[in-house]
Each structure stands twice: as structure tokens, then as C-alpha cells.
């Protein structure tokens, strides 16, 4: 009898693995079928590649001041994207800035996702007064414009790139909390969750093994799009002097330094701005593709 039970459990596990594998393959097929998602994926992977191999791709050092005679030189064979006010190669600074942008996106979104997912899961699963208190606090945070709240938090913590990442992470906690809460409210009423409760599974096991794994799709989509938003917010804070500090090659900080030369040396602002635009566009396109692929209501 025990052998039969073991065989049935093994067969069930194999079927579950096969089902999950086919679902992931179907999701991948749907992503590949969308040209916009593939364009976004290409931009994102190109950014990651540039960030990983920045020391080998950059023709010059990103932070060392150049010669005075090289100040604000236009794009040329020697400096493909021109130089800034200190004679530094703009292409090299943009390449190394990709590292900072990815770091900002991952850390900021990691803070927001981890805390927001936990808060949303607890509020949605337990409901009652816990849900009421948590969601009212979330509503208060969402009542403030994100950039103003990020500025306020960064001003309190002190201007630095690290504090900017923390501020952006805190600002976007409500977004993840609301997404996870709405997903948990629908998942916790399903039969397999009721069955887990019936066999005596504790709340921790139910939340982290049965509920959250079935809320992963909207979290993945929001995370992908959130990285682009976090990079844009960090660039805004750096532009205002609350983020990156000299001589860091951060794109928003590069824009701030070059804005006074926008008439005489427009390339010093155009190329960092294009880098920000393409990065945010890439993550948004990839996020849209993932949303379409992971949403069962949009299946063809």
C-alpha cells in the first residue's frame, strides 16, 4: 500500500513538473511571437552586456579628467560621442554608467518588491483590521507624487546614490503591496489553499508555498517595468543633486553637469538622455511582452 502511494506521489510530481515545463515553454513562445517584446529584450540584454564588459568596451577611463584642449569636443573619430566639460570621453562614461543604472534598478526594485510582497501577502491573506490598517498606510504613501516623496526621503537620509536607491525602493513599496494583495485575495479562496488549511498546514507554509507562487506573474511584470522606472527616478534625483556624486558616471548626473553647455555642446546632454530613454523603453517593452505572455486572459 505504501509503495502504491509512493508511486502515485511520484507520478503526480512528474506530471506537475511536465505541466510547469510546458507552461514556461508556451510563455516563451508567446514572448518570442511579440516583436515589441523582443526589441525590449534586445535592448535590456545589450545593456547588461555593456555593463558586464564595460572595462573592455570603454576606450577611455570614465572618471579621470582629460586634457583642457579636449574640453567639449564634438563627436569625432577619437571621441565617438564627444567630450564633456572636463575633457572626459562621453562614450566611456555612458558605458560605465550602464553599471550604475543596472545596480540602481535591481537594488531599488529589490527593496520595493521584497517589502511590498510581504506586506501585500499578509494584508491580503489575513484581511480584517490588519488589511484595513496596512492599506490605509499604503494609500497615504500613494497620495504623494513618487518623485516628491523620493526627494523628501533622500533629503532626510542625505544626498548619495545609495540613499537614492533606498528612497526609490521605499517609494515603490505600495505598488507591489497593492498588486500582491489583489492577487492573494483571489488565490486564497481557491480549493488547493482550502485543502492545505484542512490538512493542518500553518499560515507561513500556505502563504509561501501555495499562495505567493501563484501570484508570481504580476510580480515579474511589475519588476521588469519597475527597473526602468527606478532608473528614471534615480536619474532625476541625480539631476537635482540628490543622487550620484562626482565623479560617478551616472547618466542623470551627466545631464546635470552638461545642462549649462546645452547651446555650445548639445552632444553632452543628448547622448546621456538617449541612454536613459532607450533603457527605460527597453524595460517597458519587455514588461509589456511579459504581461501579455503571462496573462491567461490574453491567450490566443
pLDDT of residue 18: 47
- Residue range 75-132, pLDDT digits in tens: 999 999 999 988 899 999 999 999 999 999 999 999 999 999 999 999 999 988 999 9
What's the mean pLDDT in 178-202?
85
DSSP line for 15-73: HHHHHHHHHHHHHHHHHHT-HHHHHHHHHHHHHHHHHHTHHHH-SS-SSS---GGGTTP
pLDDT of 12 above 50: no
Q: Which domains does the chain have, with CATH numbers?
A: 34-63+78-298 (1.10.3720.10)
pLDDT of 293 above 60: yes
> What pTM did the predictor assign?
0.86
pLDDT of 233 above 50: yes
Q: E strand or H helix at 100, and its extent?
A: helix 90-126
CA dist 177 and 135 (Å) reads 9
Question: How would residue 15 be classed by pLDDT, with cut points 50, 70 and 90?
Answer: very low
pLDDT of residue 7: 45
pLDDT of 21 above 70: no
pLDDT of residue 167: 95
Residues 133-144 as b/e (b if ≥16 CB within 10 A, e otherwise) read ebbeebeebbee
Whats the size of the chain, residue-wise? 300
Q: What is the mean pLDDT of the chain?
A: 86
- Residue range 245-269, pLDDT digits in tens: 888 899 999 999 998 888 889 999 9
Q: E strand or H helix at 89, and its extent?
A: none
- Residue range 269-288, pLDDT digits in tens: 999 999 999 999 999 999 88
CA dist 65 and 282 (Å) reads 31
Amino acid at each position: 500500500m505504501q509503495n502504491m502511494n509512493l508511486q502515485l506521489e511520484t507520478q503526480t510530481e512528474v506530471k506537475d513538473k511536465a505541466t510547469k515545463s510546458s507552461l514556461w515553454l508556451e510563455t516563451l513562445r508567446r514572448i518570442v511571437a511579440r516583436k515589441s517584446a523582443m526589441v525590449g529584450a534586445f535592448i535590456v540584454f545589450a545593456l547588461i552586456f555593456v555593463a558586464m564588459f564595460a572595462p573592455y568596451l570603454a576606450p577611455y577611463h570614465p572618471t579621470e579628467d582629460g586634457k583642457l584642449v579636449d574640453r567639449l569636443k564634438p563627436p569625432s573619430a577619437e571621441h565617438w560621442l564627444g567630450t564633456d566639460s572636463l575633457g572626459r570621453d562621453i562614450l566611456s562614461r555612458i558605458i560605465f554608467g550602464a553599471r550604475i543604472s543596472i545596480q540602481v534598478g535591481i537594488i531599488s526594485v529589490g527593496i520595493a518588491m521584497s517589502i511590498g510582497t510581504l506586506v501585500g501577502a499578509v494584508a491580503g491573506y489575513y484581511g480584517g483590521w490588519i488589511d484595513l490598517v496596512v492599506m490605509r498606510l499604503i494609500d497615504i504613501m500613494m497620495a504623494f507624487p513618487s518623485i516628491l516623496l523620493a526627494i523628501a526621503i533622500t533629503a532626510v537620509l542625505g544626498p548619495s546614490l545609495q540613499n537614492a536607491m533606498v528612497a526609490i525602493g521605499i517609494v515603490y513599496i505600495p505598488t507591489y503591496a497593492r498588486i500582491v494583495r489583489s492577487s492573494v485575495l483571489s488565490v486564497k479562496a481557491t480549493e488547493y489553499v482550502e485543502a492545505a488549511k484542512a490538512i493542518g498546514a500553518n499560515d507561513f507554509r500556505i502563504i509561501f508555498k501555495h499562495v505567493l507562487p501563484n501570484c508570481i506573474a504580476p510580480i515579474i511584470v511589475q519588476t521588469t517595468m519597475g527597473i526602468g522606472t527606478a532608473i528614471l527616478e534615480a536619474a532625476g534625483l541625480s539631476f537635482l543633486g540628490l543622487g550620484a556624486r562626482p565623479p560617478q558616471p551616472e547618466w542623470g548626473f551627466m545631464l546635470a553637469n552638461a545642462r549649462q553647455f546645452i547651446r555650445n555642446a548639445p552632444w553632452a546632454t543628448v547622448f546621456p538622455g538617449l541612454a536613459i530613454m532607450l533603457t527605460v523603453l527597453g524595460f517597458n517593452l519587455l514588461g509589456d511582452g511579459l504581461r501579455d505572455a503571462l496573462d491567461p486572459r490574453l491567450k490566443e
